[in-house]
C-alpha cells in the first residue's frame, strides 16, 4: 500500500530485516522471540558493562606489554602499542562520558522547580 508517496510494504520488509539482523547478533534466530526474550538493559547496567569493557581492554594491554617485556616472541611491539592505544582511547572516552554526566547532573540540580 502506498501512503504519501511511501510504499509501506517496503518499510515493513526493512523492519523485519532489521529485527532478523538484531536476532542474529544476539544469537537467536527468531526475531519475535528475540524481541520478547531479551530483558531490557537499564542505564546502570549499560554503564557497568561499558566500564567492565574498558577495564578488560586495559588489562589485556598491560598483559601484552608485560609479555613483550618478558621476551615473548609471539607478541610484537606493534601489537602492544596498538592495544595500549585502544586502552587509552577507551579510557579517554569513559572520562568524557563521565564529564558529560556530571555536567548534566549539575545542570539538573541547579534547575529551579
- What does the alpha-carbon distance between residue 7 and residue 14 come to, in Å, rounded to a whole number? 11
Grid coordinates representing 100 are 558529560
Q: What is the pLDDT of residues 19-63, one digit of tens each?
A: 877 777 776 555 454 455 566 778 888 889 999 999 999 999 999
Determine the Cα–Cα distance for residues 57 and 84; give it in Å rounded to an integer.
Answer: 8
pLDDT in tens, 50-105: 999 999 999 999 999 999 999 988 999 999 999 999 999 999 999 999 999 999 99
* pTM for this model (two decimals): 0.58
Enumerate residues 6+ apart whose C-beta is below 8 A from 10. Answer: none
Residue 6 has φ and ψ, to the nearest 5°, of -115, 130
Residues 6+ apart with CB under 8 A from 62: 87
* Whether residue 8 has pLDDT greater than 90: no
pLDDT of 2 higher than 70: no
Amino acid at each position: 500500500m502506498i501512503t504519501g508517496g511511501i510504499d509501506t510494504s517496503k518499510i515493513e520488509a526493512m523492519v523485519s530485516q532489521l529485527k532478523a539482523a538484531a536476532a542474529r547478533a544476539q544469537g537467536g534466530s527468531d526475531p519475535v522471540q528475540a524481541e520478547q526474550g531479551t530483558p531490557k538493559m537499564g542505564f546502570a547496567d549499560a554503564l557497568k558493562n561499558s566500564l567492565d569493557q574498558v577495564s578488560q581492554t586495559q588489562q589485556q594491554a598491560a598483559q601484552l606489554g608485560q609479555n613483550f617485556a618478558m621476551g615473548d616472541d609471539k607478541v610484537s611491539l606493534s601489537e602492544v602499542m596498538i592495544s595500549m592505544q585502544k586502552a587509552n582511547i577507551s579510557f579517554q572516552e569513559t572520562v568524557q562520558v563521565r564529564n558529560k554526566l556530571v555536567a548534566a547532573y549539575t545542570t539538573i540540580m541547579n534547575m529551579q522547580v
